[in-house]
Amino acid sequence: MCDTFVVMPGSSKNKKLWFAKNSDRSPNEPNLIINQPAKKNDLSACADVSLTYISIPQAEETHALLMVKPVWTWGCEMGVNEHGVCIGNEAVFTKGKYPETGLIGMDICRLVLERCSSSLEGMKLIGSLVEQYGQGGNCGFDEAMYYNNSFIVADASQAYVVETVGYEWAAKNIEGVYAISNSLTIEREWDFSCGSLENTAKKYDFSKAHSDTLRTHFSGASLRRYMIYQTLLNAKDGAPRKNIYSILLGDSFIKRDEAPGIDYDICKDALRAHIPSGGFVDSPCMHYGGPIGGHTTGSLIVCPKDGFISLTGGSTPCKAVFKPFLKSAELPFSEDEQQAELYWLRRELIQRNILAGNIDNDEYLRECITLEQELDSLLLSFAGQNSDGFNQRVFNMENDFVQNYLSGCKRDAGALVPKKGSFGYKKRWNKKNAVLLERIAELGI
């Protein structure tokens, strides 16, 4: 379960495109931040690249990129490359059986980032990959999960939604604001499609023809997509807005914009949004604990025109710090997957201690707010200055914040039992905690 959206320049406050995504996966599934440089590949030595389940011909050159990827896959959930191409995928539940092998949506995301210099190229590559190789394979981390995929691919000025079922696909240009959340959204209005659809005498309803309505309903997609649109369009139209801290800090934290429009703060609000009295799968900021559903394990916001990237680097965006980085300078991340896993696990251990009541939730949120505001102010002060220093300073400030809380974290399963919730809720978390703590002990955190 995930949520991805794009805001086109005409709908944003700064008249620039914004891309954002939450990755909802197993709560124990580290989402690694990987900074991969541009590469020239020796095709005479290795003509193919091994993806998660299949191999395909390697490209002679691949672009530099930053991606957020599950620890076990070749591919990624989301990312941005050196040309400002951004992409994120959503699981979509469709009729029929899913093959045991093939491309998975995360493979496709990384291939687009490695090989495409525009969103148009990205849209076309998705289509050609799906038509040639099809989709298949278990996409779950600690339980089986099979699905097809939808994507938003964007650059600084254009964006496309691409929806796929097996070997078929349809796509359309995006205007205004567009969000996808685990359901097919393209009906009869596609602008591009696979050969089999181009040969049809009349466009049929792509979504209606292929959706597994039962699984789509229980994914909570419609409610999450509604919440994203509500947050974004209320800001676009100038309505007073609350964010996740309003309940904690009172009405003084409700913002009334003199110049309404969608900006970085609004993108953060949308990824942190909760539906009051919703179920475990109903909110964009998804919290694990129900018999179905995942957990938001990573979040990304990009403004390609400004070379601006913001990441949580951990789970639970409503209780995490969004860290702004400038792509024009060296990013403080690497290709080292074990270091990336340690980065995620440190932040996750803090979240489990908050859930157990070992860390005061309200105090932690206040400090998150303060740090995030300091980072945003620092971003403004660095305009036109040495961005190398900016990126490292942001990294260090948030890392100090994490280390301060990490030093007081408890590391035994009995101490991480959630204080509130039903018997089933606590049992499910206890099982996850036991496995996570084994990995934390193995890596010496």
Q: Are 220 and 2 in contact (CB under 8 A)?
A: no
Q: Where are the beta strands (DSSP E) in 314-372?
A: 323-326
* Cα gap 392→334, rounded to integer Å: 13
2 is catalytic: yes
Structure tokens at 384: 């036109």
Q: Are 430 and 417 in contact (CB under 8 A)?
A: yes
- Number of residues in the chain: 445
- Active-site residue among 2, 76, 303, 368? 2
C-alpha triplet 27, 33, 36: angle, nearest 5°: 145
* Residue 44 CB neighbours (<10 A): 6
Name the nearest CA neighbour of 203 among 164, 170, 168, 162. 170
d(CA 406, CA 124): 45
Residue 224, H or E segment: helix 221-236
The residues that bridge with 70 in the sheet, in sequence order, are 31
Rounded CA-CA distance 389/65 in Å is: 20
Which residues belong to the active site?
2
